[in-house]
Structure 1
Amino acid sequence: MANPQGTPIWYELLTSDQNAAQGFYEKLLGWTIARPEMGPPGVDYRVAAAEDGPVGGIMKMPEGAPMPPSWLIYFGVDDVDRATEKATSLGAAVHMPPMDIPDVGRFSFLADPQGCLFYLMRGLSSEDSRAFQDGETAIAGHAVWNELSTPDQAGALAFYGDLLGLRQDGAFPMGDLGDYKFWYVGETRIGAVMPQMPGGKSGWQVYFSVDDIDAAHGRLELAGGMALYGPSEIPGGSFTLVCADPQGARFGLVGPRKA
């Protein structure tokens, strides 16, 4: 894929119940979810698509996996092997070494020095991934924000800056909780890094675009999900809603309030 290094190029839900998760996200985000003709051999891998193309995948967690159901991010890199080697030199742990997915690309699965999980990937397609889109022009159903909660904000900024070239610029003060610091790939703001909240969890959280935050809130509850925080207004006039799906995977929604 031709996206600049550090761009989120794919999203993946690891879940305890694929069928239930598929039904939930189809109702909530209007995705079309199907098994691709060319998927990982021997794996029930389902691809979720918004109206203009694929956004991410849904797969069942391996038995005995030491993590809860989660949304994970694939960051695009120019060379997976070289980037994985660099990540380990910066203190990352390798959970899956670089390997190929036939006709798709090459990837590895890592934990940063604070234990937060993520993927590195180089896709075979010559076209840009559009799984992540700028929030101001995003089509509903696409990921528009990537938020890292970490016990070591300075360490995370240094790690992802060195590894992926993520540039930190600007911040939103949260009082005694610290600063919410924005991350860029080139001139595109892709998300932010924040200190882990007292009693909260560390890790990456993905936010998906919706056309109307209140209508999405209603669909969330009807489909069996849970609103954990919000809707909350953010700079620019949109609203965010932090959620959990019926299997417990956390994610966020972003959209205007039309009522």
Structure 2
Amino acid sequence: MSKGHGAFVWYELMTTDTKAAAAFYDDVVGWTSVDSGMPGANYTLFKAGDARIAGLMTMPENALKMDVPPAWLGYVGVDDVDAAAKKLAELGGTVHREPEDIPGIGRFAIVTDPHGAVFALFKGTPDGEMPEISQMADGNVGWHELMAGDLDTDLAFYQKMFGWAKDQTIPMGEMGDYQLFAHDGAQIGGMMTKPAEMPAPPYWGFYFNVPALDASIERSNARGGKVVNGPMEVPGGAWVVNCVDPQGAYFNLVSMKR
């Protein structure tokens, strides 16, 4: 996966019970959770083999006070966090946490798109390079999905922000179009206008690759996860399922076989 400007480079779960979440995702996705070893930080890493895929941390107090539910957050790599945050605001997005440094790791900002979907901007330190792993490798994030406030305006926003290319459009009948998008010539995700009956605000969802879907669903159910939609076959022959983990964070699984 290319780690240049506009690529998703990191994923982070903020939750209310990190120990339970680590055990859950290790079992369901097949990750290995390890302490990050960062001084003064209670931060867990999820690894697929030698590759670090995602992080896990306790929800900050201010988020708990605001009743923010546990959730996955995606970090998009940029050439310059400060310049990207300024551009995002000019394009109608909102900067919720101004750019700041994580010593020895990089610089980041927490932002939302014009309709309120949360993500982060990130620029790593030069020595922070991670082992490359194929987008479709087990344990990696194989797909990124935006349930958008409005497909047309949000697609234009992300195209201007990150240079994403409009790819194949899949008509979904009354639900409108599902728009695939590409980065550096590779399809990395899709977006559609969020159905009105979905209670959540617009959001980014992430699909974790697993070897076999049904076995992962069984492990999720056994540990208190819930299937909210699926399993279903999607164009290209993959199978997907949308779930909620025991702490209430929304996640998805994808596999080429049931």
| TM norm. shorter chain > 0.5 | yes
In 2 relative to 1, CA 157–2 (structure 1 residues): closer, same or farther, beyond 3 Å?
closer
Q: Which residue does the alignment assign to 2:148?
A: 150
Separation of aligned partners in 2, 1:131 and 1:114: 32
Separation of aligned partners in 1, 2:176 and 2:132: 30
In 2 relative to 1, CA 30–228 (structure 1 residues): closer, same or farther, beyond 3 Å?
same
Separation of aligned partners in 1, 2:156 and 2:217: 36
Provide Cα deviations, 1:19-75, integer angstroms capped at 9, x if missing partner: 1111111111121111222x3x53311111011310010011112413211111000
Secondary structure of the residue aligned to 2:61 is coil
Deviates more, 1:1-10 or 1:11-20: 1-10
RMSD, aligned CA: 1.8
Q: Which amino acid aligns with 1:196?
A: K
1:110 aligns with 2:114: no
Instruction: Give the total of aligned pairs.
Output: 253
Q: Structure 1 regions of 5+ residues with no counterpart?
A: none
Contact residue 11 and residue 73 of structure 2 kept, 8 A: yes
Q: Which amino acid aligns with 1:107?
A: F
In 2 relative to 1, CA 165–235 (structure 1 residues): closer, same or farther, beyond 3 Å?
same
Q: Which residue does the alignment assign to 1:6?
A: 6
Secondary structure of the residue aligned to 1:85 is helix
TM-score under structure 1 length normalisation: 0.92
Separation of aligned partners in 1, 2:133 and 2:230: 23
Q: Which residue does the alignment assign to 1:253?
A: 253
**Residue correspondence of structure 1 range 198-209 to structure 2 within 5 A:** 198-200=196-198, 201=200, 202-209=202-209
In 2 relative to 1, CA 128–190 (structure 1 residues): closer, same or farther, beyond 3 Å?
farther
- Segments of 4+ moved more than 2 angstroms: 125-134
Give 1:122 shift.
0.7
Q: Which residue does the alignment assign to 2:60?
A: 62
In 2 relative to 1, CA 33–122 (structure 1 residues): closer, same or farther, beyond 3 Å?
same
Separation of aligned partners in 1, 2:84 and 2:118: 15
Q: Structure 2 regions of 5+ residues with no counterpart?
A: none
TM-score under structure 2 length normalisation: 0.93
Separation of aligned partners in 2, 1:130 and 1:110: 27
Q: Which residue does the alignment assign to 2:167?
A: 169
